[in-house]
Amino acid sequence: MRYISTRDIYGDVSFKDTLFNGLAKDSGLFIPINIPQVNLSELEDIFKQGVVTSDSKLYGSKKSFIDIAFYISRLYIDRNEISDNDLKDIMTRSFTTFRSELVAPLVKLNLKNKDTAPLYVLELFHGPTFAFKDIALQVLGNLFAYFLDKQKESNSSSKKLTIVCATSGDTGGAAIYSVKGKKNINCYVLHPKNKISNIQKAQMTTIYNSNIHNIEIDGTFDDCQTIVKDLFKDTEFKNKVNLSTFNSINWARIMVQITYYFYSYFQIKNYETDIDLNKLQFSVPTGNFGDILAGFYAKKMGLPVNKLIIATNENDILYRFINEGGVYQPVMTIQTLSPAMDITISSNFERLLWYFKTEDSDIKFFMNNLLKNGFFNVSNNMLNEIKKVFASEKVNNKEILDTIKQIKNDTDYLIDPHTAVGICSFIKNNTINNNITISLSTAHPGKFPDIVNEVLDNKERNNFVPEILKDCLSLEQKYISFDMNKNILSNIKNYIINNSES
């Protein structure tokens, strides 16, 4: 498999190049030169070989998850880059730290409203930092280490890798956990001041390995993300520090996340034998558009998905694009109860646009308009084609709290505020063909106790927070702060150069 840029200028590169470069030289995002098709029957057989049985019903297992992750990634990585044995080993090691034997278990929620279509929650928070980002970033950490070890064995450049990423809360902790202590990698994480939860911040800033650097920016996630993109545009800087990223602009993250769409499909198919899977849809809490984009790739690869629901909070750029005429126009970021989604520039949306472009719709033209004019718009035909695959809903803070409370009262199941956005969007979209819906649960509620506690009785408050998360709040936090000013990019470059060893 080879890769090209969404800007249609720079292309035909290897998987390793996409992994290490992050952005293409023309500032576009890497995409596979073609989308491979899966054999669903063959993949289901692979799933079944790793399942465990209970009450004569089939469930997933860690082995079946690993096997599907291997199968999917094998389609996107040539064997001359990573052998079958090495790739399987990478996948196996990546998921040994997960607390659930199923890695990503499905939970069926029986809401009291009998008119509501079947709803399942896909729990993606069983990794080391209690967030869905662990699934991809554990793999990325091992992929980086694998290629760096290969370079060392071949006496190639031994220069350390510098990973820089922006986080709206969960990417940072997952990235840090995946590379902490790795001698050939330095990791720099930018987070927005006072715009992530206390536990999210503590998870990042209480890791004291010398290769970990936390940077607090007095701005928004979009500011952090812009700084990271600007660093990648600076060729001289990239050459000095051997730069790469963990953000979802890195194709490898999308590739790994495709896994759990297929995995959840087979869980339902083998558990619920009397449902119409042609009506399956996914509701995905969406900020940077990476998680739901993986669902789009799964659909293009052959997964029978009817709709993908873009579930947004009040930072609703994608909701407005879908429902208000195809205009993509960022506005000021609003701080909400689902902070990891407080994003107004969804970087991965560029990848989606590439697949729907026509002869008169150029991605580079769209991105230049966004930069110069602050917006772009697509044709009605292009928008209508996108709407055949995607629907969208937006959820406000009151609806987030109401949904957490409703799910707790109806099912005695506790969700975090981001999962609430996904479930509330499902309820609002329940008129779509009465679809069976899988709503992605992106984080453990224990990462957001202040918000979740608002809807709980006194005796229930904080009892849901894992001890490991409580403990990190009492530790000393280590980070450096930068104010947003005209010199911030230069200041951060100097900080990274001064702290990165050759």
Q: Residue 190: helix, strand or coil by DSSP?
A: strand
Residue 303: which region, alpha, beta or left (left: phi > 0; alpha: psi -120 to 50)? beta
| CA 51 to chain centroid | 26
Spot the catalytic one: 62, 133, 201, 307: 133
| Angle 463-464-466 from CA coordinates, rounded to 5° | 100
Q: Name the residue among 40, 83, 62 with its Cα closest to residue 127.
A: 62
Strand order of the sheet with strand 11-13? 11-13, 3-5, 30-32
Cα 167 from Cα 201, distance rounded (Å): 10
Which DSSP category does 339 fall into?
G
Q: Name the residue among 374, 312, 344 with its Cα closest to residue 192.
A: 344
Handedness of CA 15, 17, 23, 26 (dihedral sign): negative
Under 8 Å between Cβ of 249 and 23: yes
Cα 378 from Cα 119, distance rounded (Å): 33
For residue 295, which amino acid is it? G
For residue 109, which amino acid is it? L
Cα 367 from Cα 385, distance rounded (Å): 20
Cα 46 from Cα 37, distance rounded (Å): 16
Burial class (CB in 10 A: 0-12, 13-18, 19+), 218: middle
Under 8 Å between Cβ of 442 and 283: no
Strand order of the sheet with strand 390-394? 106-109, 119-123, 436-441, 280-285, 307-312, 390-394
Under 8 Å between Cβ of 332 and 344: yes
Q: Name the residue among 340, 310, 295, 344 with its Cα closest to residue 443.
A: 340
486 is catalytic: no
Q: Residue 18: helix, strand or coil by DSSP?
A: helix
Catalytic residues: 133
